[in-house]
Structure 1
Amino acid sequence: MGRPKRIVLLRHGESEGNVDETVYEREPDHALSLTRAGRAQAEKAGARLRELFGDERVSAYVSPYRRTHQTFLALGLDPRLVRVREEPRLREQDWGNWQEREDMRRQKAYRDAYGHFFYRFTQGESGADVYDRVGAFLESLWRSFEDPDHPPNVLLVTHGLTMRLFCMRWLHWTVPEFECLSNPGNGDMRALLLGTDGKYHLDRPFERWCTPESYGYTG
């Protein structure tokens, strides 16, 4: 089995929606573009990735959103070394078509009280829904490792919540553990590294805003 030695997860650069909540009232979430700062963040991430990957091959999967496509293009990776595919299952959590700002602020407050994993936005998704489709993608990804000539690197260009849920699914975190984690910043990344024990380990933890509740069991 050609398991990669690293799986890198990258959050898109700053988008229009990150700086102006009212844009969601006029533009579809999937159509929002990077800001100038977001492009600079993507270019900076690209420099780090080019150094990390060197002349090794990369299998890249990109969320179908405009801002993730723009982020990938701004990375400046060598196209001769990269096999890229659009992957809809890595998209952002769906919040439900156009969004009225005050209504979304109320729903975000409800989500904070109810729990980010279980709260479902009106006409949209819960974190649990995203977890399920990320899990389906993970199964497809794992099957791709059956190719003995699989590239030694995987790159996922996606969104903050999706990154956390991918790691939750891969590393078998509990819901309370997930709830205590903060999103990475725009243009930030995490990597699952293949260790000598044959298991993948996160290169550095996500920041926590609280201590996870214990259910009193370990597995």
Structure 2
Amino acid sequence: MRIILLRHGQSLGNVDELAYCRIPDHALPLTEVGEQQARAAGPRIKELLNGDPAAVYVSPYVRTRATLRNLDLGDQAERTVAEPRLREQDWGNLQDPVQQQVLKHQRHAFGHFFFRLPNGESGADVDDRLAAFLTDLETRMADPTHPGTALVVSHGLTIRLLCRRLFGWSIELFESLSNLETCEDRVLTHDGRTWRLDRPFDQWRTSPDGETQGPLA
């Protein structure tokens, strides 16, 4: 069994933080660069699939669905499921720019996992919904009619937390990791005993508890 994790292409919110003040997070579109990134990622994902079909699970946000569309997987996407549990951390509705900066500083000081955004979620809340998604996914992948590969098109923090949950990483390690770049991928493979990660996430610091990523393929 394999899970291919892909972050969406560059979105308007990645280049203009004030966009969150006038456009709901779920409706933010890809930029032209993001569209190009997604098209360029298509051949890479197809090479990973090596002609085999995949079940696609995609966050229902505009930027993730646009990324999937631009991959142009054709018949290799055997089934596509819009999965709300794969959405980005909820920051609330339209954001005030001043409060947005204050919250970012508070969140960084408090920790990305436990800090709950007013009218939104904490990282722990996202972790909880991803636990339910992974339980369902593993049940589905155990069905012989389900493709052996699942492609998950989601968001930076969400992908980090999905791996944290799957590998049992500590909170300290999770908070030491960087998000994937836009349209960057990671491949998780089950070797019959455990899940393995094809390559580690970038780290901006050593985990305070000494924990490291793994197991790696």
TMscore range, shorter length: over 0.9
- Which residue of structure 2 lines up, in the alignment, with residue 144 of structure 1? 140
- Which residue of structure 2 lines up, in the alignment, with residue 202 of structure 1? 197
Distance apart, 1:158 and its partner CA: 0.2
Partner AA of 1:214 in structure 2: D
Distance apart, 1:212 and its partner CA: 1.0
Q: Runs ≥4 in structure 1, deviation > 4 angstroms?
A: none
Q: Give the direction of change, closer, same or farther, for the CA distance of 1:110–1:81 in structure 2 (3 Å limit).
A: closer
The Cα RMSD (Å) is: 1.4
Tell me: higher relative CO, structure 1 or 2? Use CA pairs within 8 A at least 6 residues apart.
1
Name which of structure 1's ranges 145-154 and 19-28 shifts more when overlaid on structure 2: 145-154
8 A Cα contact 1:180 1:209, kept in partner: yes
Distance apart, 1:194 and its partner CA: 2.4
**In 2: Cα distance, 1:181 partner to 1:80 partner:** 32
Report the secondary structure of 1:99's partner residue: coil
Tell me which of 64, 68, 78 is aligned to 1:68. Answer: 64
Q: Give the direction of change, closer, same or farther, for the CA distance of 1:215–1:209 in structure 2 (3 Å limit).
A: closer
- Which residue of structure 2 lines up, in the alignment, with residue 21 of structure 1? 17
The answer to whether structure 1 residue 213 and structure 2 residue 195 are counterparts is no
- Which residue of structure 1 lines up, in the alignment, with residue 214 of structure 2? none
Report the secondary structure of 1:193's partner residue: strand
Equivalent residues in 2 for 1:90-109, closer than 5 Å: 90-109=86-105
- Which residue of structure 2 lines up, in the alignment, with residue 57 of structure 1? 53
* 1:113-162, Cα deviation, whole Å (9 max, x unpaired): 00000111111000000000000101110110231232121100000000
TM-score between both structures, scaled by the size of structure 1 = 0.93
**In 2: Cα distance, 1:215 partner to 1:74 partner:** 40
Give the total of aligned pairs.
211
Equivalent residues in 2 for 1:134-173, closer than 5 Å: 134-173=130-169
TM-score between both structures, scaled by the size of structure 2 = 0.94
Name which of structure 1's ranges 172-181 and 186-195 shifts more when overlaid on structure 2: 186-195
8 A Cα contact 1:8 1:192, kept in partner: yes
Distance apart, 1:214 and its partner CA: 1.8
The answer to whether structure 1 residue 119 and structure 2 residue 115 are counterparts is yes
